[in-house]
Amino acid sequence: MDPDNPDCSEGSAYPAAPDSEYGWEKLFSERMYAAYSRNYGLNVRIARFHNIFGPEGTWRGGREKAPAAICRKVAEAEAGGEIEIWGDGKQTRTFLYVDECLEGVRRLMDSDFSGPVNIGSDEMVSITQLAELAMKIADKPLRIKHIEGPLGVRRSKLGQPPDPGEAGVGAKAEVQTVCGPPTPGSPSRSHRRGPLPRWRFDQAAGQTSDPGAVMKLTIVTPSYNHAHFIERTIASVLDQGYPDLEYIVVDGGSTDGTVNILSRYSADLIWTSEKDRGQSDAINKGLAQGNRRRGGLSELR
């Protein structure tokens, strides 16, 4: 990716050339939701999130994003020691604070634009710069040891859709800092619009008034030791009020109280808790369970 031109054209996304099945899954999901929108009148919004970070994000266990991983390494290193970084450290990324992401989502949901919309920053940061910033904030000078390892793609954006401003979205949030908590009083980080609006299902875009005619929906949430936010995740799904929802939570054998929370929602969702082989394994278990019960559109949260 050209560091001086982070905004790729949509032509760089299609024809697609993702570096792994993870990338293909994202593009397939976009096409699938667009198809359901055309064929069944499902009201959809498609957003592409780019390296969202903030409080309560995963910071260990192999599932964390680069900001959390780097901050953890700096925090755990002895003063004057060193941290390891995969590759030469010149690979670039863009990062967006979670409050900025929510603002972008709000604007997209309040608009009539289905997407896709990139929700992210256009400020390019190398992994080495990210590490140096974490050291500066921690006031802990450290050496950086570059080791062999996966680098990921050398670009951070799949491509620019039609100008969201033309559709009244304005979803490109302003980013005033690369890393850190919100600046007090920052207008781009204030929740000006109050709580997130509840999504209203429109009975297949007004084509029928028969609740039995709506599309069946299965949502799968993988979880492991997420007691500090799993209840809010559950509420964000159930509060949508979807008329024909099958909600499955696949827990990896949590030991932090997650199971107690899940048990309180047994009447509203299907859940299991047992050791698995990680997030992908949990997702596959949930999808298989939903497919056995009935056909339908599945979403991962």
Look at phi and psi of residue 21 and say left if phi exceeds 0, alpha if psi is from -120 to 50, else beta. Answer: alpha
User: Which residue do the tokens 């509060």 mark?
Assistant: 239
DSSP string, 30-98: HHHHHHHHHHH------EEE-SEE-TT---SSS---HHHHHHHHHHHSPTT-EEEEETTS--EE--EEH
Catalytic residue among 14, 22, 40, 224: 22
Note whether 257 and 227 are within 8 A (CB): yes
Contacts for 257 with CB less than 8 Å, ≥ 6 apart: 227
Note whether 127 and 65 are within 8 A (CB): no
User: Which residue do the tokens 């990210």 mark?
Assistant: 130
Per DSSP, helices labelled H in 77-152 are 98-110, 127-138
> Would you call 6 helix, strand, or coil by DSSP?
coil
Active site residue 22: yes
Q: How far apart are CA 167 and CA 110, in angstroms?
A: 11
**Which positions are annotated as active-site residues?**
22
